[in-house]
Amino acid sequence: QLCCLCLSLKSWNLKVNMISRKDIDSIVPNHIVPSMSISLVNRFSAGDSVIDVGTGGGLPGLPMAILFPDTQFTLLDSNRKKMTIVQEIASSADLNLPNVRVVVSRAEDHLEKYDYMLGRAVSAVPSFLGFSSHLIRSPSNHASSAHDSPRKGLYYVKGGDFKHELEEEAGIQNYTLHAISNMVPSLLTDKQLLFIPTAEIISFYHRKESITVPTVKKEVNISRNNSNKRSIKK
């Protein structure tokens, strides 16, 4: 399935810029492997709800959905053309991922709650949290709840040194950084996997200088059963 995903993304990329065209020949080391690094840090369970915010070409959401078929993944992006293609890929005979839901919407306008958030170099961390922190589900009031886990929160793949963004700009103190080159020694990359636990995200949400209630715009669920779905010809 992962091979089919790579081939599909390469094929569609000839028509629509799903991934930077200068980078498409390095899709595995530069995109698929960093996305899959999340699975080396956390194992999603059946019943978990996960949202990939600003998924673009379906990364890291599609690789995670392949690795964790019992977990429900929502892939969110405002680019309708890209998201129609992501749904085409997810529902293709080669991948057949019924655990993927594709939603066309801005993060600010999406009001559902999730156990986990995923992201991949969508923007600077403070900006990302600014438009997505409301999506994380608050922990149970019962401290012993089996549904709560210290591993729940945000998993975010990003290159370079961004500690200043985290600590000085976002005020995030409780976080973990995993160098992907340490997890996958054969991979030469400066990308890191950032983990911010749920409690820290909720704390960020409550201390934002101003919270603007988003104007809810119509969002579109693109599914294989949607008779109004636009088709994009290869």
Q: What is the pLDDT of residue 231?
A: 42
pLDDT band at 196 (very low <50, low <70, confident <90, very high): very high
pLDDT band at 122 (very low <50, low <70, confident <90, very high): confident
In whole angstroms, give the CA distance from residue 69 to residue 207. Answer: 36
pLDDT at 55 > cutoff 90: yes
Cβ(135)–Cβ(110) under 8 Å?
yes
Q: What is the pLDDT of residue 21?
A: 85
User: For the segment 127-170, what is each residue's pLDDT rounded down to a tens digit?
Assistant: 999 999 999 999 875 444 455 688 999 999 999 999 999 999 99
pLDDT band at 41 (very low <50, low <70, confident <90, very high): very high
User: For the segment 97-109, what is each residue's pLDDT rounded down to a tens digit?
Assistant: 999 999 999 999 9
Of 9-23, 115-129, 179-193, 197-211, the least confident: 197-211
Of 40-54, 88-102, 207-221, the least confident: 207-221
